[in-house]
Structure 1
């Protein structure tokens, strides 16, 4: 049981690292920071705002793909050049940031 839990934890850490790397590769970190507002909201603020919402991952993935405006202030976020799978991966990762 302990071994399975360790493997699961290692897998989640690895997935989280890969997702953070994807955010860096796609330029997300130019406007977003882990804990502080930059041009856009921090990842922790996004995770808190959408915590407990059943459609949070799909909603965020859609915002990543299509862009948006008005939710976090007057600066719009342009559509991002990511695949549907990458948008979902990033959205899932955002929801885990604490």
Structure 2
């Protein structure tokens, strides 16, 4: 029985790593990584900093989906984030969920 649980835990860990990589790949393919990195400021804020800023905001998912889709200015400084109308709503939802999951 212990071996079964260890297998389940190992499989879950691999699935989580695979999902995180898929989300990082989606962020890159969507153009997010042209201005953002996961852990340091580039043109825009680090994705982890965005997650930290919105961690206690119950409406963060919807707010950030709107900002990604329509663009944003003045939240993180003078450089505007352009709209991402070429990214599907489903992918925006996935990307924002990924960002908010970062610690």
TM-score of the pair, normalised by structure 2: 0.85
Q: CA deviation at 1:93?
A: 0.4
Which of 3, 25, 29 is 1:25 aligned to? 29
**CA 1:54–1:2: 2 relative to 1, 3 Å:** farther
Distance (whole Å) between structure 2 residues aligned to residue 14 and residue 61 of structure 1: 23
Number of residue pairs matched?
98
Aligned to 1:73: 77
Q: Distance in 2 between matches of 1:55 and 1:15?
A: 24
Unaligned runs of 5+ in 2: none
- Rounded Cα–Cα distance in structure 1 between residues aligned with 2:69 and 2:94: 12
SS in structure 2 of the partner of residue 62 of structure 1: helix
Please give the alpha-carbon distance, in whole angstroms, between the structure 2 residues aligned to 1:74 and 1:57.
Answer: 23
Whole-Å Cα distance in 2 between the matches of residues 95 and 62 of structure 1?
14
- Whole-angstrom CA distance in 1 between matches of 2:57 and 2:44: 21
Structure 1, unaligned runs of 5 or more: none
Aligned residue number for residue 61 of structure 2: 57
- 2:100 corresponds in structure 1 to 95
